[in-house]
Structure 1
Amino acid sequence: MSTLMPTDNRKNTTNKKINIDVNKSLIACDIIELFLVLFIVVLFYVSIPVTSTKVIYIPNGSTSAIISYLNKSGYELNFIDKTIIRFLGYPQQGWIDLKYKHLSKGDFLYKLVTSKAALRNITLIPGETSYFFLKDIAKALNLSEEKLIDTYNKLAYKNDGNILAESYSLPLGMSEENLIYYLFSYTNKKYEEFARKIFGEYNKNKWFYYVSIASVVQKEAANVDEMPYVSSVIHNRLKRGMPLQMDGTLNYAQYSHDVVSAKRIKEDRSPYNTYLNKGVPEHPVCAVSLAAIKAAIFPAKTEYLYFVKDKKTNAHKFSASYKEHVNTVNSNIVYIRTTPKKKVEPTEKTPSSKESIFDQIKTPSKPTAIKNLWQNVK
């Protein structure tokens, strides 16, 4: 009769514990190895080179919307970038300065969250021409005047009037192409908003007819209060088939600051010379304000056909008849002969209301008349 040996349960338990510990160690090593691999992959990923402009624009919106916008701009970001950005924080909005054109992916994503652009205020004075404005921008922002002009000419709808006359906060480091595109886009958006509020639609060709009238108003009026009256003279002359005969139209482009002489009037053969050509110049003479556009569309109801600057007040005197106009001119001659010369700088008044010109526009009393006016523009 055989005898069975007793089983050593303690030994089996010990072996099981050892096996479990070994398995746990192996799992831990696998996890650590996985994390190391992921870490190396992430390090490699964030070291991928990225080429960008120094200054880029980030729109308002969610992280997903911003990623989508950047993808459309050629940056090719994905869910990994989205995760990293969310880990770092939230992207800045507006213009941001990356400082460099060539960065690693990690630096690029970090700067999206932390960087802001240094801004400089640039004012396009109402009545100034793009010829001088581009020179001012090039100097103020240290940009290439040649590139600015080249981009402007490629994108411009008209020779002038493509940029609304107002103040802009522009980031340093912005490229010439992006700057012109931004100014044009901003202006076109304002023009469209303004046109739809008045006419209910935006036709760019028709709208620029009024911008051209507004540019003449901008050059001729001594202040905002005079604009509707200058506009009335323009409209009254157009209705009668009379040439505008206004000196301000000859202050186009590089001639913006020149005194218009009788010789210039006689010799200038450009389409801007309203002494030789009837109608409104095809291209706006200069940059305009919204106040000038408002006056171009809503002229004062007058019979005025003439105006001349009163040397005593530096404002204009308006006349419905040529005889009255001549009398005003003669009174100026007498005043000049009997008064010592004084240098007076005319200033353009701004509306007393804190509202913008856009907000001050009221619905016309006769909308049908406004629509007919719009429809008559070719």
Structure 2
Amino acid sequence: MHMNTPSRSTIRLTRRGRIALIAAGAVVAGTVVAVPLLSLGEDEEAKPTSLVIPAGWRASQVYEAIDKALTLPPGSTKKSLAKLDLKLPNDADGNPEGYLFPATYPLERAGKKATPDSLLSAMVDAANQKFSGAPIAAGAQRNAMNLYQAVTIASIVQAEAATKADMGKVARVIYNRLERGMPLQLDSTVNYALNRRTLRTSDADTRIESPYNSYQRMGLPPTPIANPGEDAMRAAINPAAGDWLYFVTVKPGDTRFTADYSEHQRNVDDFDKAQRKASPKPTK
């Protein structure tokens, strides 16, 4: 279901003005934290001893980081999934997206070097330990969600909210839209379908054929779209109180939530102005 509006380009629920944060994330995404254990000679390269998975990474980023940390050929970790027996919910259908818990994982334990199997299993075990506790389970039930759906909402919250303070509000927008039978219309789900990250989503993007296209499909996407941390998970089961249906991050630190569509349009106009100011057209 779509809202009847004069312009499709103005109905987007969110366009995140987070250029600085995305730029910073791109740096983090390419790094494996190295902690040298011994003093090395000048010609000897320090090898990482642990792998840091930041909150909000997609499974594909985790696989690439594991390959890099273990100096494996690209694609090795992803290929290993077929023979793993990870402790995932039935709804996940073997896809660990959402359950690769963000934390620091050692690359060697008790003299044994880590493998893709051991690292992925450790991440899923950590997620199960964090998510399956009584408070989380009770919170999901209180919001008429099963745990997998709660993790899916948390993954969207992680992708959409720039700050911890905004996470509860983003979660509330999701619930409010679901309860009213409105499509979520979230750029983050479309970006997941297209395997990219961008602040702008075109009209053509919103028409792609994908179960992750929340402009065209009702309800939640079929799986999480990232691996959420504890803050996002807490927000997903304990959303802030409010009647908001729309939000847009006009610029970093300025996310505006509203239940009024006209006000949201004005906020989107401010976002567009901020984007044009940040990226002026080159002069001829």
Query: Same fold, TM exceeding 0.5?
Result: yes
Give the helix-richer structure, 1 or 2: 1
Give the letter for the 2:117 counterpart: E
- 1:128 deviation in Å? 1.3
Structure 1 residues 221, 251: closer, same or farther in 2, change over 3 A? same
Contact 2:139 2:238 (8 Å CA) reproduced = no
1:63-105 deviations in whole A, cap 9, x for unaligned? xxxxxxxxxxxxxxxxxxxxxxxxxxxxxxxxxxxxxxxxxxx
Structure 2 stretches of 5 or more lacking a match?
A: 1-46
- 1:178 deviation in Å? 2.4
Give the letter for the 2:174 counterpart: I
**Partner of residue 107 from structure 2, selected from 170, 177, 182:** 170
The higher radius of gyration belongs to 1
Distance 2:113 2:62 in 1: 18
**Partner of residue 327 from structure 1, selected from 263, 266, 278:** 266
Structure 1 residues 240, 174: closer, same or farther in 2, change over 3 A? same
**Counterpart position of 2:242:** 302
1:273-302 deviations in whole A, cap 9, x for unaligned? 100101111200011001101101111110
1:228-259 deviations in whole A, cap 9, x for unaligned? 00011000000100000000112327714345
Contact 1:265 1:275 (8 Å CA) reproduced = no
Give the letter for the 1:166 counterpart: A
1:93-242 alignment, distance < 5 Å: 120-153=49-82, 154-155=84-85, 157=88, 158=92, 159=95, 160-171=97-108, 173-193=113-133, 196-199=134-137, 206-242=146-182
Percent identical pairs in the alignment equals 30
**Counterpart position of 2:22:** none
Contact 2:247 2:264 (8 Å CA) reproduced = yes
1:33-87 deviations in whole A, cap 9, x for unaligned? xxxxxxxxxxxxxxxxxxxxxxxxxxxxxxxxxxxxxxxxxxxxxxxxxxxxxxx
Contact 2:172 2:244 (8 Å CA) reproduced = yes
Structure 1 residues 262, 292: closer, same or farther in 2, change over 3 A? same
Distance 2:115 2:171 in 1: 38
1:131-161 deviations in whole A, cap 9, x for unaligned? 1111111111223544421333544543311
Distance 1:185 1:333 in 2: 43
Distance 2:50 2:227 in 1: 17
1:18-41 deviations in whole A, cap 9, x for unaligned? xxxxxxxxxxxxxxxxxxxxxxxx
TM-score of the aligned structures, taking structure 1 as reference length = 0.53
- 1:335 deviation in Å? 4.3
Distance 1:269 1:150 in 2: 26
**Counterpart position of 1:288:** 228
Distance 1:213 1:201 in 2: 13
Give the letter for the 1:197 counterpart: P
**Counterpart position of 2:6:** none
Give the letter for the 2:78 counterpart: I
- 1:164 deviation in Å? 1.1
Q: Which has the higher contact order (CA 8 A, sep 6+)?
A: 2
**Counterpart position of 1:69:** none
**Counterpart position of 1:316:** 255
Question: When the two structures are aligned, how many residues end up with a matched partner?
Answer: 220
Structure 1 residues 250, 335: closer, same or farther in 2, change over 3 A? closer
Distance 2:240 2:123 in 1: 31
**Counterpart position of 2:34:** none
Contact 1:212 1:281 (8 Å CA) reproduced = yes
Q: CA RMSD of the aligned region, Å?
A: 2.8
**Counterpart position of 1:65:** none
**Counterpart position of 1:244:** 184
Contact 1:215 1:292 (8 Å CA) reproduced = yes
Distance 1:253 1:127 in 2: 15
Distance 1:243 1:282 in 2: 14
TM-score of the aligned structures, taking structure 2 as reference length = 0.69
Distance 1:128 1:264 in 2: 26
Give the stretch that moved more between structures: 276-285 or 325-334: 325-334
